[in-house]
Amino acid sequence: MKSIDKQVEKQRRYYERLGVKRSLRSTHNPGLYKVNPEIAHNRPKFEEELAELKGKTFDEQIKLKRQLLARYNNQIQAYIRSGRGHNDLFSYAVQWVYDIGDLDTYFQYTDIAMARDVRPVLRSNKTFEECLRYDILEWADQQHKQKQSCEPYLSRYMARIEDWSTIPEKLRSSFWYLKFYSDFRAKEDPEKLIEIGKTAFKVHNAQVKTVLKELFLEYYGKEAGKSEWKEFLNS
């Protein structure tokens, strides 16, 4: 729980620096209970709880989301066991576990959501695959700015990508940039780090150029490093 609290605190400070308040989309959904038998018997209470989230501060929202996840955990687990398709309660739960900083559960719930065609009720213009992509990138960016490791979640997401050409170029560049510097801080094997740096550089991320060149010189030696660097640039 301490590590989760730490992530939430980082997220809160991040939004404060940006001067941004995360707001919920409208929670009104007339069809909510047709596909959500887990909460059909408690409709007024659940609607009140969703409405209560609106207008709260970031910290207050996190506290309430934790309470809601605990309160509806039995219903959420019943849905998971059921094997049914779209479920709005579970859709809320997927986003809430990310918001409270529980990334292990977020990956788990997102996989279930994608397998069952669950739609993001709070971000209706995206799929859960897209939500996962943007959320992990957001989290890794926060970690990077605070000079913290982006692992294990950055690599865990990147390992899912079978074809990087399907990822928009700007996002592709950001992922490899963050991966390079996260591994650089972790003092990964120089040969492995150079290969990651090459990929980051090739996806139009010139920000890694200076550090990558220094790695070439350090790993290969001054003269051989210059030759290897020149060959790389011309490749």
For the chain, helix (H) and strand (E) counts, in that order, are 12, 0
Question: What does the alpha-carbon distance between residue 50 and residue 27 come to, in Å, rounded to a whole number?
Answer: 7
Tell me what pLDDT residue 27 has: 41
Q: Which residue has the tokens 């997102």?
A: 110
Q: How confident is the model over 125-164, as pLDDT tens digits?
A: 999 999 999 999 999 999 999 999 999 999 999 999 999 9
More confident residue, 228 or 17: 228
Tell me what pLDDT residue 30 has: 38
Q: Kindly tell me if the per-residue pLDDT of 217 is higher than 80.
A: yes
Angle at which helices 103-115 and 128-145 cross, to 10°? 160
Question: What does the alpha-carbon distance between residue 209 and residue 100 come to, in Å, rounded to a whole number?
Answer: 36
Tell me what pLDDT residue 203 has: 84
Question: What does the alpha-carbon distance between residue 3 and residue 178 come to, in Å, rounded to a whole number?
Answer: 21
With a CB cutoff of 8 Å and minimum separation 6, the contacts of 120 are: 91, 94, 95, 113, 126, 127, 128, 131
Confidence grade of residue 44 (pLDDT, cut at 50, 70, 90): low
Six-digit token string for 98: 């990310």
Tell me what pLDDT residue 45 has: 79
Check: pTM over 0.85? Answer yes or no: no
Six-digit token string for 104: 């292990």
Residue 27 and residue 123 in contact, taking contact as beta carbons nearer than 8 Å: no
Tell me what pLDDT residue 25 has: 37
Q: How confident is the model over 68-127, as pLDDT tens digits?
A: 999 999 999 999 999 888 998 999 999 999 999 999 999 999 999 999 999 999 898 999
Tell me what pLDDT residue 144 has: 93
Of the candidates 43, 66, 128, 61, the one whose C-alpha atom is nearest the C-alpha of residue 91 is 128
Long-range pairs for 105-108 at CB < 8 Å and ≥24 separation? 106/132, 106/135, 107/132, 107/153, 107/156
**Burial 15-54, CB ≥16 within 10 A → b, else e:** eeeeeeeeeeeebeeeebbebbebbeeeeeebbebbeebe
Question: What does the alpha-carbon distance between residue 78 and residue 55 come to, in Å, rounded to a whole number?
Answer: 30
Q: How much is the average pLDDT of 4-31?
A: 47
Confidence grade of residue 50 (pLDDT, cut at 50, 70, 90): confident
Q: How much is the average pLDDT of 32-58?
A: 70
Q: Kindly tell me if the per-residue pLDDT of 19 is higher than 50.
A: no
Six-digit token string for 33: 């209970």
Confidence grade of residue 3 (pLDDT, cut at 50, 70, 90): low
Q: How confident is the model over 171-215, as pLDDT tens digits?
A: 999 999 999 999 998 888 889 999 999 999 988 767 888 899 999
